[in-house]
């Protein structure tokens, strides 16, 4: 009976939490954190009654009482999952997804105990533990604790307690032809992919472009942030699918010190993971988060759909630096255009 109640409660939190996370990641909902007064007390008031309800459920075998307790557990878990996830900023959604993935595993594990099914129990334990490990890895990469993500979250308060620096300036724009010219003339290029590349499925065009550049003597490497994409390793897998050589795909710690000797840093669909405010502004909501220092390169080209902020809802000063230029447009269409223009350039 304890497994039945736990499966109901954890499953409810997972269901509504996943729906909210999906909405934030796909732009259906605002990525801003819902900041209701006393939100942590509200979460606590939703969770605590379940302790009493579970105790009653375990000690009162009558069907009416059991259904009432399960109904209370299901209804409060639905609200709790939705509110907890809505109260976390969009930049933390990848971590939230791995936490919810872990929850789903433990719910499945509880179902296995309830049904006396060893397969469900083992599979649920594997999913739950792997989700917990992924959550730990991502939190460590963001220089934060899991408690801070769940109870705080980027976009809910500033890092130093003061007012974040105002980002001012005029951004420069570039086009496909200028970008191709810059890439073909460079000796050292680092590409920084982000969630935008994954959504647009532009990895194949990028892989073809990289092959052409390398065939013509340009040193091209990739810099991967630990939390780029929805979970650790997502972009590594996408690049591997496109047959990008493993030896040119490097982690942030391996490549960050090389940006100072790089001619062109090409950012594709990344924002918060290359935001200099994390290092320069102690009052920024993302202060202390490790980022890829693309602004140290001689030239920075940022490919984005718009000039809008990322999931953390924080302006990026890199967009306004004198060595940076924006190449705005759909990532897939722009990467395809870069590939075809580069082919024409080398076929002259």
Positions annotated as catalytic residues are 195, 230, 311
DSSP 307: S
Tokens 């970008």, residue located: 179
With a CB cutoff of 8 Å and minimum separation 6, the contacts of 305 are 196, 328, 329, 330, 331
Q: How far from the centroid of its chain's Cα atoms is residue 243's Cα?
A: 24
Taking the C-alpha atoms of residue 327 and residue 52, their distance in angstroms, rounded to an integer, is 57
Taking the C-alpha atoms of residue 247 and residue 216, their distance in angstroms, rounded to an integer, is 18
Are 197 and 224 in contact by the 8 Å Cβ rule? The answer is: no
Are 226 and 251 in contact by the 8 Å Cβ rule? The answer is: yes
Are 336 and 201 in contact by the 8 Å Cβ rule? The answer is: no
Taking the C-alpha atoms of residue 197 and residue 192, their distance in angstroms, rounded to an integer, is 10
Are 213 and 183 in contact by the 8 Å Cβ rule? The answer is: yes
Query: Exposed, middle or buried, 6 (CB in 10 Å: 0-12/13-18/19+)?
Result: buried
Backbone phi, psi, residue 302, to 5°? -110, 120
User: H/E element holding 77?
Assistant: helix 63-86
Q: Measure the CA angle with vertex 227, ends 223 and 228; round to 5°.
A: 55
Are 98 and 135 in contact by the 8 Å Cβ rule? The answer is: yes
Bridge partner residues of 191 (DSSP): 222, 266
DSSP 230: S
């Amino acid at each position: 009976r304890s497994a039945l109640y736990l499966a109901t409660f954890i499953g409810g939190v997972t269901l509504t939490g996943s729906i909210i996370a999906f909405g934030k990641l796909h732009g259906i909902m605002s990525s801003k954190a819902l900041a209701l007064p006393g939100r942590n007390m509200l979460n606590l008031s939703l969770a605590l009654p379940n302790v009493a309800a579970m105790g009653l459920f375990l000690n009162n075998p009558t069907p009416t009482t059991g259904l009432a307790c399960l109904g209370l557990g299901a209804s409060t878990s639905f609200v709790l999952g939705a509110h907890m996830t809505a109260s976390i900023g969009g930049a933390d959604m990848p971590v939230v997804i791995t936490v919810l993935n872990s929850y789903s595993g433990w719910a499945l594990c509880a179902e296995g105990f309830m049904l006396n099914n060893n397969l469900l129990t083992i599979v649920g334990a594997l999913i739950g533990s792997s989700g917990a490990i992924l959550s730990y890895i991502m939190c460590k990469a963001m220089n934060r604790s899991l408690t801070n993500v769940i109870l705080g979250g980027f976009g809910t308060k500033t890092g130093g307690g003061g007012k974040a620096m105002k980002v001012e300036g005029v951004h420069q724009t570039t086009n496909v032809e200028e970008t191709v010219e810059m890439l073909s003339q460079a000796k050292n290029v680092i590409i920084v992919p982000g969630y935008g590349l994954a959504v647009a499925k532009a990895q194949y065009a990028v892989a073809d472009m990289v092959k052409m550049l390398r065939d013509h003597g340009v040193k091209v490497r990739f810099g991967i942030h630990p939390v780029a994409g929805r979970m650790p390793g997502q972009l590594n897998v996408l690049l591997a699918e496109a047959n990008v050589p493993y030896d040119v795909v490097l982690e942030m710690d391996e490549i960050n010190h090389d940006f100072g000797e790089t001619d062109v840093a090409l950012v594709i669909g990344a924002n918060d993971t290359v935001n200099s405010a994390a290092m320069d502004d102690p009052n920024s909501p993302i202060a202390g988060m490790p980022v890829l220092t693309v602004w140290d390169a001689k030239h920075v080209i940022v490919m984005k759909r718009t000039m809008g902020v990322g999931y953390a809802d924080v302006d990026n000063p890199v967009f306004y630096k004198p060595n940076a230029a924006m190449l705005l447009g759909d990532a897939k269409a722009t990467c395809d255009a870069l590939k075809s223009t580069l082919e024409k350039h080398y076929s002259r």
